[in-house]
Structure formats: C-alpha cells, structure tokens
Amino acid sequence: MIKQSIIWGLLSLIIFVMSGCAEFTASNPEEVVGQRVNERWAALIEGRLETAYSYETPEYRELYSFADYRKTIKGVGSWKKMEVEHIDCAEKKCIANIVIHVRINIGMGFGVVESNARAKENWMHHSTSGQWYHISDR
C-alpha cells in the first residue's frame, strides 16, 4: 500500500513538473525567439549558411532552394556580431529588434570602417511543428 502511494506520488510530481515546463515555454515566446535569433545570427556570422537556412519557415524552404537562399545573403565576412535590443510578441508572431555590427575593409587607402545598423526581423510560431521560424523578406 505504501509502495503504491509512493509510485502515485512520484508520477504526480513528474506530471506536475512536465506541465510546468510546457507552460513556461509557451508563456515566454520572447525568450525562445531571442535564443533562435542569436543562433541564426551566429550561423550567419560564421558563414554556416545551411544552418541559417534551417531557421526559415518550412514553406519558404519548399519554395526556395538553399542555392536560391544563398544568393540573397550579402554580408558574410563583414558581420562581426549581433545584439538583440528588444523582442515584441503578440499571438503567434514576434518582431526582433536587433543591431548588426559590421567591419568593412574599404581599401584604396581608406582602411577599415566599423559601423552598425538596426534591423527588425519577423518571426512566426509554426502551428504544425511548434517551432519559431524567421520570416524572410523575400
């Protein structure tokens, strides 16, 4: 009898903990999207374009091949870092406000120029996979 009570108690605890984790993830899209933005930009900065491509929506990847995607990416080698300033989420969509830091070798005696630019990225929660994806401007 005591053994059965312990088993039911442990089972209840596991279910409680698991439901809490699911609720935490669902209620913090800003945190999840922030992590995905950082992962995607780390891949872009490092030139791992196939990894960055995997952050595009499944629908985008059905329409555009990796070769098509690669042609749209300009800046590999000049991007040095990215910072997330703020993420705003509503419903199943988030807007990530980011700052991209670049370093460009102009040449012809002008040397190197360092600058940054602000950008906004759109992200959506995909209902089928449950994952957050970048929405390309294309």
Q: For 137, which DSSP code?
A: -
Q: For 64, which DSSP code?
A: S
**N residues, the chain:** 138
Of 93, 90, 102, residue with least CA distance to 121: 93
Q: What contacts 32, CB < 8 A, 6 or more positions away?
A: 25, 132
8 Å CB contact between 136 and 53: no
Confidence (pLDDT) at 111 = 84
Count the domains in the chain. 1
Confidence (pLDDT) at 126 = 96
Confidence (pLDDT) at 21 = 45
Quick: pLDDT tens for 12-37: 545 554 544 444 445 699 999 999 99
Spatial distance between the Cα atoms of 15 and 21, rounded to a whole number of angstroms = 10
Confidence (pLDDT) at 26 = 52
Confidence (pLDDT) at 138 = 74
For the domain that residue 123 is a member of, what is the CATH number? 3.10.450.50
Does the model's pTM come out above 0.85? Answer: no
**Token pair for residue 8?**
């039911």
Confidence (pLDDT) at 110 = 80
Confidence (pLDDT) at 13 = 45
Q: Above 70 in pLDDT, residue 8? A: no
Quick: pLDDT tens for 66-114: 999 999 998 888 999 999 999 999 999 999 999 999 998 887 878 888 9
The residue segments making up the domain with residue 123 are 2-135
